[in-house]
Amino acid sequence: MTKQVVQLSRVVIRFAGDSGDGMQLTGDRFTSETAGLGNDLSTLPDFPAEIRAPAGTVPGVSAFQLAFADHDITTPGDAPNVLVAMNPAALKANLKDLPRGSDLIVNTDEFTKRNLEKVGYASNPLEDGTLEAYSVHAIALTSQTVEALKEFSITKKEAERAKNMYALGMLSWLYSRGADGTRAFLKKKFASKPEILAANLAAFEAGWSFGETTESFSVQYEVAKAGDLPGGRYRNVMGNPALAWGLIAASQQSGLPLFLGSYPITPASDILHELSKHKNFGVMTVQAEDEIAGIGAALGAAYGGALAVTTTSGPGVALKSEAIGLAVSLELPLIVVDVQRGGPSTGLPTKTEQSDLLQAMFGRNGESPVPIVAPQSPSDCFAIALEAARIAVEYRTPVFLLSDGYIANGSEPWLVPSVADLPTIDPNFATEPNHVSEDGTAAFWPYLRDPETLARPWAVPGTKGLEHRIGGIEKADGTGNISYDPENHDRMVHLRQAKVDGIAATIPDLVVDDPSGAAEILVLGWGSTYGPIGAACEITRRGGLNVAQAHLRHLNPFPRNLGDVLRSYRKVLVPEMNLGQLGMLLRAKYLVDIQGINQVRGMPFKSSELVDAIAAAAETM
């Protein structure tokens, strides 16, 4: 049956169902096929914290949103054009986000009286006019899947589980996605279960055929390959794997073995999972018994000459804080990856937030300065991991890398770099004595600093003649001996701070995107606000209002030109998924009036929210 093919520029699809309905897998497979077709894309997985949330309830709904386009995009979209609701709970949780006139694909089999009552529907929304503003495609996904698999030697429950593959096949046909990647994925996933493999493949093919033949869909859609992306080889990448690969690249570029000491915690655990797969690159991973043991092992590895990393989220940072202070005192390279989530305490384990910035800046006793970097997107995690390693190794310091749940679990196309273009990181180990004593004998002073970086020498234990003492008690400048001298402590505190401040000389100036050169409003962000801010600025400019955008990847120290940039604009807006932590730092350092745009809903900003905030700020000028 041949149907009309309609060309679209951009599509936003949201798959939603119970956390056991396979919505994350469905979205991931659709994303992979989309990436293979050369579309630009951005994703937003949204799932409950419970391993198996109560079935059929709104809190148990798992969703996956994907935007794909024939041009450059930076967000997964404010609202879906298409909502696939696998049950009443998914409809109830997501209908508020669906614009009028959008497509709504509903699994009618799940709209039973019991399931409707469970989420508070007094009547069936498929029948009472609730959905008359939408283009509704009422499809019995579950029963059609079971019918398609009736010849297989599997249980009815196993057949029902394949309904996500049926839905995937149907949507893949509707939006002209490929099928080869999904077939290959299923063959690998169920290689040891041939009957389950055959059933899932059959469900996928049945969904594809239904889309092709049903009268429910009168047209098929196509989205052309993105034409404005730079040339090169791309692959779809999520933030956590990209960060893991960046750490491996840093290990290779520095010649240091990579060591990860970590305790599993959402949403950082996937970094541990990914690194554990790469022993062929000399990666060593230790799943420790707790957060403190994880960073303790990493700090010991750093002393032994490894590129040491520990990964965690906000609650884990609190537990690691004393050991981070020890790393500051020891002046050893250590990368502390904090994939931020909603807090305080256990908070919202699977939701995103940017609320650990001040904890990273000040969450230790004493004057304990630590450099901080933050990726702006999933693909940027690779580059920012390299940058964190460079700073840690060259300046002999722990470094905070602040990612967040949105970046960690989101995905986008990544332009795979050439290995020849990756930076070289020189550990420059101490190999011989660096001081001549008064009696003329050669000695090793572990705190005799490099005059340019103020970094102390890094001597691997066992290097002949370089024996030295380390520990948390204050050290004498130069000799590294224990010292309680007031003047020495004051000098060491200032030296450690000056070392971190000096990193600013090696980071690029802040780049401002101000196409007109006439903007009076600057929108400044950090972390995962990059995409929504960029989209909002583009929309605002198309509406005739000049606005500038800048984004910080280095948060301590700041770029050297940041103060001049801030003072160049009448208004500076800073969107953050916290109550204004970066804004507080900027006001304190630069005495500039910062206008915060703050929300802590566990979800990223919508570009429309920022468009409204920019317009409101312009009206007050």
> For residues 165 and 523, what is the distance between their CA atoms, to the nearest angstrom?
42
Parent domain of 565:
512-619
What tokens appear for 137 in the block? Answer: 């495609």
Q: Please give the average per-residue pLDDT across 279-288, as a whole number.
A: 97
Please state which of the ranges 47-56, 151-160, 203-212, 333-342 shows the lowest mean pLDDT: 47-56
pLDDT band (50, 70, 90) for residue 229: confident
Q: Which of 430, 425, 465 is nearest to 447 (CA)?
A: 430
Residue 1 has pLDDT above 70, yes or no: no
pLDDT for the residue numbered 505: 98
Tell me, yes or no, whether 64 and 204 share the same domain: yes
Tell me, yes or no, whether 15 and 111 share the same domain: yes
> pTM of the entire structure?
0.96
pLDDT tens-digit series, residues 193-204: 999 999 999 999
Q: Please give the average per-residue pLDDT across 108-125, as a whole number.
A: 96
Residue 621 has pLDDT above 90, yes or no: no
CATH number at residue 385: 3.40.50.970
**Amino acid letter at 500?**
V
Tell me, yes or no, whether 219 and 248 share the same domain: no
Tell me, yes or no, whether 250 and 205 share the same domain: no
pLDDT for the residue numbered 108: 97
428 assigned to some structural domain: no
Tell me, yes or no, whether 386 and 294 share the same domain: yes
> DSSP per residue over 92-144, as a string?
HHHGGGSPTT-EEEEEGGG--HHHHHHTT-SS-TTTSSTTTTSEEEEE-HHHH
Tell me, yes or no, whether 194 and 293 share the same domain: no
> For residues 109 and 145, what is the distance between their CA atoms, to the nearest angstrom?
11
pLDDT band (50, 70, 90) for residue 464: very high
pLDDT band (50, 70, 90) for residue 20: confident
Tell me, yes or no, whether 162 and 205 share the same domain: yes
Tell me, yes or no, whether 158 and 95 share the same domain: yes
What tokens appear for 584 in the block? Answer: 């507080």
Tell me, yes or no, whether 187 and 283 share the same domain: no
- Sheet with 135-139, edge to edge strand ranges: 40-46, 61-69, 10-18, 82-85, 103-107, 135-139
What SS3 class is residue 548?
strand
Of the candidates 202, 223, 244, which is a domain's last residue? Answer: 223
**Percent above pLDDT 70 for the chain:** 100
Tell me, yes or no, whether 44 and 173 share the same domain: yes
pLDDT band (50, 70, 90) for residue 498: very high
pLDDT tens-digit series, residues 420-458: 999 999 999 999 999 999 999 999 999 999 999 999 999
The tally of domains found in the chain comes to 3
Question: Which residues face 552 on adjacent strands?
Answer: 526
Q: Please give the average per-residue pLDDT across 356-375, as a whole number.
A: 98
Residue 379 CA, distance from chain mean position: 9
Of the candidates 172, 189, 223, which is a domain's last residue? Answer: 223
What tokens appear for 59 in the block? Answer: 């809190």
448 assigned to some structural domain: no
Of the candidates 363, 392, 421, which is a domain's last residue? Answer: 421
pLDDT tens-digit series, residues 297-351: 999 999 999 999 999 999 999 999 999 999 999 999 999 999 999 999 999 999 9
Tell me, yes or no, whether 47 and 180 share the same domain: yes
Please state which of the ranges 72-81, 221-230, 397-406 shows the lowest mean pLDDT: 221-230
Tell me, yes or no, whether 276 and 172 share the same domain: no
611 assigned to some structural domain: yes
458 assigned to some structural domain: no
Dihedral of the CA atoms 477, 480, 483, 486 (nearest 10)?
A: 10
